[in-house]
A and B are shown apart, each in its own frame.
Chain A
Amino acid sequence: MSVQPILSVTDLKKTFPDGTRALRGVSIDVMPGEFLVMIGSSGAGKSTFLRCINHLFEPSGGRIVYNGSDISKITGAKLRRLRRELGMIFQGYNLVKRLSTVENVLLGRLGYMSSISGALGLYSKQDRERAVELLIRVGLGEQRFKRADQLSGGQQQRVGIAKAIAQNARLVLADEPIASLDPKASDTVMNYLHEVTREENITCIVNLHQVDYAKRFADRIVGLKDGEITFIGKPEEVTDEVIRDLYGEKGDQIDE
């Protein structure tokens, strides 16, 4: 009873305007420092779940408690303060392509700056130094002045990781971080994500559809199917039967 969950989600629901019920009541507690992996086929609601937590999507119902306070319905300045503590990593990397690599890391500092000084790019000296250090840490020190769109996919995703750390994120939400990468780049990105967040004691929720990666890195695995959690357990508890249940009989519903 001593450790409070960093994130506690109760009966989270999301229905889109077109009537799609992406989440049908998801409840889960995430413990501090945990590396949680969500698996499930495309359209199971994994991405929607992450986006409801940082309000890129507004949840339709349920309760989200982050670090002891209810964040289900926050807006404005409170939402900005929440978002800066939540680092998000996207499947499509979503770096601002025409900005330099180092400035993309610095974007992680925008939540700590006034909107005006952020807009003008008046990053402090120590922020700039830290951004370079973080790039070196993910193996991209040499690339810092390159434009982001000149990097490979795997490199761009490592910039995304550096940005989340620059943000001093306490919780990282990674939405299919390796879905568009080849196996070698996938390995590198997952290794960095795991290693850096372990070192900084950052909690991670990672959506994956590759079960092997999930088993390799996760402290705990959550299986999502049709907007509901059908499995929670240790990696070694993920049996063939669990996978069949999540992805269909022959695993033929796994796309990409």
Chain B
Amino acid sequence: MSDGVLEYTRRNLVRRRRIVRLIVLGFTVAVLVSVHGTGFRIQDLYRGIPNILKFLTEDLLPPQFSVWRRFLGPTVETIAMSYAGTFLSVVFSAPLGFFAARNISPSPVVMQVARAVAVFMRTIPPLVWALLLVSIVGIGPFAGTIALGLSGAGMLIKSYADSIEDIDAGQIEAVRATGAGTFAVMMKGVVPQFSPSFVSWSLYRFDLNIRSAAVVGLVGAGGLGFTLSTSVRLFRYQEAAVAILWILGLILAIEFVTAKLRGRLI
């Protein structure tokens, strides 16, 4: 019988080793295929080093700080786009978040529809939304705002719904047991429990929107990104360097502010 156990152990080990070998082989093949597919050649990178250094030291640096004034307008525009975009997605997502939460949703069909809407809007990246919207409503921050609003709504519906699903059912049950109507149960039983995560997720989305706002600007949807892409297209790299630093500073500043706010409100 002990022979049987040994044999079983041995077979098990052999089987496991075979699986590990297969996984390693799989990864290696995948790496080789993708290197080939993308035309990645290490020697090119090596040969390019002088070019990279030249670009960094002569074209990009030093940043031409004298142009900083030109970024003031676009900065305000970026913040405004992010804020309006966040507002749009919050207004849109708050009711849908309730519909998409398993424990609150009026019916399984409504829940599935709300979740499908969220998945659809989330799967399309802000940049793609922006490309589409620029061709619909034209170049400018309006397209960017709607792009941020739509992709943000996709994320917020899911985050809201997940937070609502985590709340304490007992507190809702107790409000329901007083004979309260459905809307009153929502506002008095669900909303007080949900409000901290609501604030937290919405602020986080504002944070993300500042980053995305820079990206959607690249395709013409306004803000700092648009200014950046204009500078690059005109080969004014020293101006572009200032834009990049500016975006970095803005992201850090907003992140600092939202973190402070979140701490204060919850």
Contact = CB atoms under 8 A, between A and B. Distances in A.
A211 interface: no
Interface centre among A90, A95, A98, A119 (most CB of B within 10 A): A119
Interface string B171-207: 1011111111111101111001101100000000000
Nearest to A112: B179
A116 interface: yes
A157 interface: no
A98 B186 CA distance: 14
A111 B180 contact: yes
A136 interface: no
Interface string A108-131: 111111111011110000000000
Given A99-B188, A119-B187, A94 B179 contact: no
A54 interface: yes
A167 B180 CA distance: 11
B177 A119 contact: no
Interface residues of B, number: 23
B106 to A, nearest CB: 14
Contact of A107 (B170, B175, B182): B175
Interface stretch (A15-23, A31-39, A77-85, A224-232): A77-85
Contact of B189 (A80, A88, A96, A120): A96
User: Looking at chain A, what size class is its interface with the partner chain?
Assistant: 35 or more
A120 B187 CA distance: 8
A98 B193 contact: yes
Nearest to A173: B177
Nearest to B192: A98
Nearest to A98: B192
Q: Name B's interface SS.
A: helix
Contact of B181 (A80, A82, A99, A108): A80
A121 B189 CA distance: 12
Interface string A137-159: 00000000000000000000000
A121 B188 contact: yes
Contacts of B174: 88, 90, 94-96, 107
19 contacts: A83-B178, A84-B178, A94-B170, A94-B173, A95-B171, A96-B188, A96-B192, A97-B171, A98-B193, A99-B188, A107-B175, A108-B178, A110-B180, A110-B184, A115-B182, A115-B183, A119-B181, A121-B187, A167-B178
Given A84-B178, A113-B184, A118-B188, 13 more contacts: A79-B179, A80-B181, A82-B179, A83-B179, A85-B179, A88-B177, A94-B171, A96-B188, A96-B193, A98-B195, A108-B178, A119-B184, A167-B178
10 closest Cβ pairs, A-B complex: A111-B179, A115-B181, A84-B179, A118-B184, A110-B180, A94-B174, A119-B187, A83-B179, A94-B170, A98-B192
Interface of B: 168, 170-171, 173-184, 186-189, 192-193, 195-196
Interface of A: 54, 56, 79-86, 88, 90, 92, 94-99, 107-116, 118-121, 163, 167
